Structure 1
Amino acid sequence: MINLQPYESPGYFGLIIGLLLPIIIGLFYGKRLVIYETIFSLTFLVLTFGGKDWHQGLALIGYVLFELIVIFAYSKYRLKRNRTSVFIIAVLLAIAPLIVVKMTPLFTIKSSLIGFLGISYLTFKSVQMVMEMRDGAIKEFEPILFVRFLLFFPTISSGPIDRFRRFKTDYVNAPERDKYVTMIGKAVKYLFLGFLYKFILGYFFGKVLLPVLAHESLAQRAAFFHTGLSWPLIEYMYTYSMYLFFDFAGYSLFAIAISYLMGIESPLNFNQPFKSHNVKDFWNRWHMSLSFWFRDYVFMRLTFFLMKHKIFKNRIHVSQVAYLANFLIMGFWHGVTWYYILYGAFHAVAIIINDIWLRFKKKHQVPSNRWTKGLAIFITFNVVCFSFLIFSGFLNTLWFK
């Protein structure tokens, strides 16, 4: 059996569009073909996690069963009591498989037996369920719908990260014909834009330019250690930033396009991030489903906890600690390596400095015009690109290998 990596080959798109036709026709006439959609989704899950990756398929099945048990048990308990300790245990259990997968490389060169493609994004969905049950936003646990939400295959491997209540609204109610025709139009647009981003621009920056600049940077390693700077490294920084954006944004556009064709309006992931006026604005535009997830389920909840227990008297210090924790956790989520953790810490410090500057700007009425806005965009772009150089791990290669 062959394996198909999501959105990586023309054959994948040909197969998926062909098998999507009955779903598209059904939705056009206001019918959601639940049985066919289930078979369709299972087919692509098998093609993705079967064959030589059969162990990932088994890990995925085990993961889904585990999360079902955890969330079902908490939903039953939640109906009777609402103890914080049990809520914390439920969250820790929901996130435990991901922690094991992320920590395994520290102890062995082999990957974790319970790891599989997309475990991070499924964990975000699972933790979200527990937290929204705790809040009372989700009144009843619906196991079958939860599994459909968890295994919604267009977004299973790399997002975007949807919210259960929003997904449920789309899934239960097929879109009106006029709305669905509009969704089809957007899907076609996103598919073509995704091809431009991932297979043309992403390929050019990532496969053509990046290896050359990496080789030149390593060749001038001595000059770098002497001056702390080299032009190939600077070029590498900007090129990697472009590659990271176009490759990931293209992938996200494919996932959103297929979601739209299935009648599900998965959230957008990017909104012209390199036009950001500051770092906070950047995180409102870059990988938005992830940054908003961390904002809602880490930053805001930690901020509320710190204020409720009056751990810090100054609200500014509360937000600063919450930012630091939020981005450090995000760094650890990417991987337990120094450059991912430094990447998270770098953005935490950047956003804290940005908040200090915004308060200073407001207090002293610093002028704002097109020139200052242009300068803000330029500075933000370079700060972000430098953070991506850290994120790339290339400095680890340059310094230690």
Structure 2
Amino acid sequence: MLSFTPYENPTYFGILAIALLPIVIGLLCKKRFHWYETIISIFFLVLTFGGPKLTQGYALIAYLIYEVVLVWLYTSYRKHKNQTSIFVGAVILAIIPLVIVKLTPAIQNGQQSLIGFLGISYLTFKAVQTIMESRDGVLKAFNPWFFLQFLVFFPTISSGPIDRYRRFKKDYDHVPDTDKYLQLLQKGVHNIFMGFVYKYMLAYLFGTLLLPKLQQQALSAHGLSWSLVGVMYVYSMYLFFDFAGYSLFAVGTSYFMGIETPINFNAPFKSHNIKEFWNRWHMTLSFWFRDYIYMRLVFFFMKHKVFKSPKTTANITYIINMTIMGFWHGVTWYYVTYGILHGIALVVNDWWLRYKKKHQKQIPHNKFTEIFAVFVTFNFVCFTFLLFSGFLNTMLLAK
């Protein structure tokens, strides 16, 4: 049985084009074939999790049954009651599979969990946010069958972008008018074309041609060197173009299906500060952490008066939020340090913005200061990406 990682093989794009054609024709005729979309979703799931990845396929099936039943039970309960302990229990149960998958390599010397599969993080984010929105009362109606469709929407299943239940449902139930859909097709073609440029040209240049050579030179130097500086910048470029390219493929494919999946990247290296960076980088993940962890922790701390100052509350929550994001990437010192550094940077950033506002007459603001702000932000981000890459850990082990 053939198996393809999404958007990694020219054959995959050929099959994708053929599979999307009936959907495009249907939407141009103002019809949405939900039954056909279900069939091709199953087909692409088999392509992704079949063959050598069949174990992951079984894990995916078990996971989907578990999460759909769990969320269904909670939303049914929420119609009549709203006990906090039940809500917390439902959230914990929803994230337990992901926690097991993330902890297993750290506990078992790098061995992967048997219940893990490609994309488990993003499906978990969707399940947790659905529980939370049900708790908040903004999600009034829950359909288990639609929820399953929402979870396994194949263009985004492996690495996002992370959509929201109500936003997705609005598009899923709606057929865009002809002019609107033609615009979506145009943007879809543009995104897929740019995805090829990003992933198969620029990411290949930085990640395949340049990065290994610089890493070898840096290892040979046995310490700090200009090659290590090169690794920092080249890896940052590779990480951006590879992931942004994938995201463009996912968003472009979604547009062909009449689904306006949110974009994930918006020129992040043009950011003037670290908060702006997180409003531009992996945006759906950043906004998910903001809405479902940061804001809820702030509300909890303020409600229970854990800290006297709102500024202290925000600062502590920044660090907790970004540390959790670091742990989400993996239970290693470099992922956790990456998260903590970004949390501290957000704290410093807020302090600086308050200070600058208070002393705006004394602090110059011109084209040079804007360029300098972008330069500082870019270099900080690249340094943390060097940590994130794990290459420094490799250098330490090589000594």
**TM-score by structure 2 length?**
0.98
The number of residues matched between the two structures is: 395
Correspondences of 1:35-74 after superposition (within 5 Å): 35-74=35-74
- Aligned structure 1 segments of 4 or more residues deviating by more than 3 angstroms: none
SS in structure 2 at match of 1:8:
coil
Displacement of 1:387 in angstroms is 0.6
Aligned residue in 1 for 2:85: 85
User: RMSD value over aligned CA atoms?
Assistant: 0.7
SS in structure 1 at match of 2:90:
helix
The one-letter code sitting in structure 2 at the alignment partner of 1:376 is A
Asked if 1:304 is matched to 2:323, the reply is no
* In structure 1, distance between residues paired with 2:19 and 2:75: 36
SS in structure 2 at match of 1:330:
helix
Asked if 1:75 is matched to 2:75, the reply is yes
* In structure 1, distance between residues paired with 2:5 and 2:106: 27
Displacement of 1:333 in angstroms is 0.4
CA shift digits 1:170-214 (9 cap, x unpaired): 000111111000000000100110000000000000000000000
Displacement of 1:19 in angstroms is 1.3
Aligned residue in 1 for 2:156: 155
Displacement of 1:367 in angstroms is 2.2
SS in structure 2 at match of 1:80:
coil
* In structure 2, distance between residues paired with 1:214 and 1:349: 28
Aligned residue in 1 for 2:117: 116
* In structure 2, distance between residues paired with 1:166 and 1:38: 19
CA shift digits 1:123-176 (9 cap, x unpaired): 000000000000001012110110000000000000000001000000001111
Gaps of 5+ in 1: none
Aligned residue in 1 for 2:376: 379
* In structure 2, distance between residues paired with 1:103 and 1:69: 24
Contact in 1 for aligned 2:171/2:258 (Cα 8 Å): yes
Correspondences of 1:254-273 after superposition (within 5 Å): 254-273=249-268
Aligned residue in 2 for 1:295: 290
User: Which one of the candidate residues 333, 353, 359 is aligned to 2:354?
Assistant: 359
SS in structure 2 at match of 1:362:
helix
Aligned residue in 2 for 1:19: 19
User: Which one of the candidate residues 377, 388, 392 is aligned to 2:385?
Assistant: 388
CA shift digits 1:361-384 (9 cap, x unpaired): 111112211111111001000000
* In structure 2, distance between residues paired with 1:18 and 1:68: 30
Displacement of 1:9 in angstroms is 1.2
The one-letter code sitting in structure 2 at the alignment partner of 1:390 is L
SS in structure 2 at match of 1:120:
helix
CA shift digits 1:333-373 (9 cap, x unpaired): 00001000000001001111111111111111122111111
Asked if 1:282 is matched to 2:242, the reply is no
Displacement of 1:80 in angstroms is 1.6
Displacement of 1:73 in angstroms is 1.1
Displacement of 1:76 in angstroms is 1.6
The one-letter code sitting in structure 1 at the alignment partner of 2:121 is S
Displacement of 1:78 in angstroms is 0.9
Contact in 1 for aligned 2:106/2:332 (Cα 8 Å): no
Aligned residue in 2 for 1:28: 28
Contact in 1 for aligned 2:161/2:262 (Cα 8 Å): yes
Displacement of 1:54 in angstroms is 0.8
Asked if 1:370 is matched to 2:378, the reply is no
Displacement of 1:110 in angstroms is 2.4
SS in structure 2 at match of 1:267:
coil
* In structure 1, distance between residues paired with 2:36 and 2:397: 53
Aligned residues with identical type, % of pairs: 59
Aligned residue in 1 for 2:333: 338
The answer to which of 236-245 and 354-363 deviates more is 354-363
* In structure 1, distance between residues paired with 2:69 and 2:15: 34
